[in-house]
Amino acid sequence: MALFGLITWQVVADGPLVRLDERVGDSLFRRGPAALTQLFSDLGGVPVALPVLVCAMAYALWRGARRLPVYAALTMAAVPALVIPLKVATARQGPLTEAVNYYPSGHTATAAVAYGASALLLLAVDRPAWLRAWMPPAAAVLLTAVTGVGLVLHGYHWPLDVLASWCLGPVLLAPLWWVSRWRRSGPRATR
């Protein structure tokens, strides 16, 4: 959270970190195959990330969990509730555009929470042989990282926009992680 606070302060104050961010971003934009960076960027969009979470929630319900999918939905709802006011308050101009409200990256935050919550749900309700304990978290981290990289390389976001959302993801997921962890080790009543 401290890193997120530092980044936000620099964005609001137009500090030296922002100038460095813009130089780095300018050197990265439009690198790599456009179709691939677009695909990576799209992984954080609601039309892609939300169905993944909905499937994980449905699976958790099917496996008998009742409260965890609700907590996951509330966690996902926290993303726009937090990100949109931050975008408006900072009014940061995006790269390659005159438009504002680019900080923090909503696509990156959406990816972090949707894929992270999906991993937590899968781990909380099931551990069959095909679902190793490391697979869902590794997939969530990979999908979130790839989303952020795609957003920067395609020129949709500055690197600090993405880094800030990477910082927000674990903070937003922490309550769900705690509840899902307690469910795995606690009484069955927490379903």
Of the ranges 46-50, 96-100, 111-115, 179-183, which one carries the lowest mean pLDDT score? 179-183
Of the ranges 95-109, 117-131, 150-164, which one carries the lowest mean pLDDT score? 117-131
Which among 83, 79, 160, 167 is positioned nearest to 117, based on CA atoms?
Answer: 79
Model pLDDT, residue 182: 72
Which among 11, 191, 13 is positioned nearest to 104, based on CA atoms?
Answer: 11
Give the Cα separation of 54 and 73 in Å (integer): 9
Contact 102, 93 (CB under 8 A): yes
Model pLDDT, residue 190: 44
Go through the chain and tell me how many residues it has: 191
Which among 27, 29, 26 is positioned nearest to 37, based on CA atoms?
Answer: 29
Model pLDDT, residue 135: 83
Give pLDDT tens digits for 35-92: 999 999 999 999 999 999 999 999 999 999 999 999 999 999 999 999 999 999 999 9
Say whether pLDDT at 187 is over 80. no
DSSP tag of 155 = T
